Amino acid sequence: MRKLSLLALAISMSATAIAAPKPNEPIQPIEPYEVTDAAKVELGKQLFFDPRLSKSGFISCNSCHNLSMGGSDNLPTSIGHNWQEGPINSPTVLNSSYNIAQFWDGRVADLQEQAGGPIENPLEMGFTHELAVDVVSSIPQYVQSFKNVYNVDKITINEVTNAIAEFEKTLVTPNSPFDQWLKGDTEAITAEQKAGYQLFKEVGCTACHSGPAVGANTFQKMGLFEDYKTNNPAEGVAGLTGEDTDRFKFKVPTLRNVELTYPYFHDGAYWQLEEAVDVMARLQLGRKLESEQISQITAFLKSLTGEQPSFTMPLLPPSTAETPLPEPFVKKAKE
Ligand code: HEC
Ligand code: HEC
């Protein structure tokens, strides 16, 4: 019955280049996020943009997950507190609610648990949870917002990270040309992109990059057919388990918005998407692709760029006399 009506729909709409949706593809569309608690999301947005959650008063979540640049920082590895070079490439926060777990090695389960990490990471925001809570608690507008949203008089790090996670869940990117094509608009992607998608499936990319996020749902070894050569010391999942079989196993990154999130791989070593496609085909599938095939797959990957989050910039309430002062630089001992 359902098949019949889909067929009828396809026939009746063929004149406008709209065909039936494609439910059996290895990739599914990203759906818009329905906000249920707008006040919580707004508070989380403020905190995501507030650099006062860092020791320097200079670094916010948005510094390394810039929502104007695909939710990443477009650097090989991030710059953190006191200009320190971070150990690993900053993944995008866009569609991060689809991740099987957070971080390249999946060491934390969810977005709320994740959000506490960077605040007290000495290489990132360089702060402590206590001081971050002291900062928000010293600002009457924040105190009022936390009271409205969580019904608490005393703010703890749990409410801070919960609000940030709630905001992050809204950072989905639906309606990419590819999703429009999946939903039945046969003209939404170009002939080159269609050819690229066929290849993407045929050569076996979908073995690891599938589902709504086109990845993010398994951990896989980087370098199956050839070793991946890098100076970056990250060990992947082996860093947590100590198991040799987990060496170089990383969470498969999402390929949603991948055109925006260069440079690529956990060490950020490749700036061009074409290079990343070539490396993947050789190292993960043992295949040397022709340059035309690489162009086609790259064109397909660009059809995964969805609608970027758009919102009013949050206004952050001013500090007060009680707010701990920022310490932008580590004081050097006098010579
Ligand atoms: C100094 C740069 C920096 C700052 C500031 C920063 N992050 Fe990150 N973020 C990173 C890096 C680098 C990683 C990857 C670390 C790893 O996997 O070991 C990461 C990982 C993540 C992830 C996991 C994404 C994934 O695909 O696994 C999320 C979510 C995230 N950060 C959110 C936040 C939030 C929320 C804040 C603010 C509280 C924040 N980040 C502050 C650099 C930063
Ligand atoms: C066996 C699993 C596997 C297969 C097959 C695979 N990938 Fe990957 N892909 C990964 C893993 C794991 C990473 C992360 C590696 C790293 O950062 O060191 C990755 C990363 C990428 C990246 C970089 C994303 C980023 O944000 O840094 C791109 C682009 C990519 N893959 C495209 C492809 C294409 C195109 C194919 C097919 C030619 C493919 N992959 C096949 C597992 C796979």
Q: CA 169 to CA 174: how far, in whole Å?
A: 13
294-313 pLDDT, tens per residue?
999 999 999 999 999 999 99
pLDDT at 17: 55
| Cα-to-centroid distance, 300 and ligand 1 (Å) | 27
Whether 13 shows a pLDDT value over 90: the answer reads no
Q: What pLDDT digit, counting tens, does each position of 148-177 carry?
A: 999 999 999 999 999 999 999 999 999 999
Name the residue of 55, 78, 95, 256 to mutate for ligand 1: max ligand atoms within 8 A of Cβ.
78
By percentage, how much of the chain surpasses pLDDT 70?
93
CA 273 to ligand 2 centroid distance, Å: 11
Beta carbon of 66 within 6 Å of any ligand 1 atom:
no
Q: Yes or no: say if 261 and 70 are a contact pair by the CB < 8 Å rule.
A: yes
End-to-end alpha-carbon separation of the chain, Å?
83
**Is residue 118's pLDDT more than 60?**
yes
The owner of tokens 């009457």 is: 140
- 128 by DSSP, 3-state: which? coil
Its CATH architecture, for the domain 38-169, is Orthogonal Bundle (1.10)
For the domain made up of 177-302, give the CATH fold.
Cytochrome Bc1 Complex; Chain D, domain 2 (1.10.760)
Q: What does the pLDDT look like over 55-71, one tens digit per residue?
A: 999 999 999 999 999 99
Alpha helices in the chain (DSSP H): 2-13, 38-49, 61-64, 111-120, 129-137, 140-150, 157-169, 177-182, 191-203, 238-241, 273-285, 291-302
Report which ligand 1 atom has the smallest distance to the Cα of 78: 2
Residue 296 in contact with ligand 1 by CB distance below 6 A: no
Question: Of 129, 110, 113, 109, which Cα lies nearest the Cα of 121?
Answer: 129
The number of the ligand 1 atom at minimal distance from the alpha carbon of 93 is: 29
Atom of ligand 1 nearest to the CA of 48: 37
Kindly report, residue by residue over 201-259, the tens digit of the pLDDT: 999 999 999 999 999 999 999 999 999 999 999 999 999 999 999 999 999 999 999 99
Contacts of 153 (CB under 8 A, 6+ apart): 147
Query: What pTM was estimated for this model as a whole?
Result: 0.93
Mean pLDDT of the residues in the chain: 93
Known catalytic residue at 259:
no
**What is the pLDDT at residue 71?**
98
Residues with Cβ within 8 Å of residue 298, at least 6 apart in sequence = 196, 273, 274, 277
Domain with CATH 1.10.760.10 in the chain: 38-169, 177-302
Res 12 pLDDT > 50: no
Distance 120 CA to ligand 1 centre (A): 12
CA-nearest residue, atom 3 of ligand 1: 64
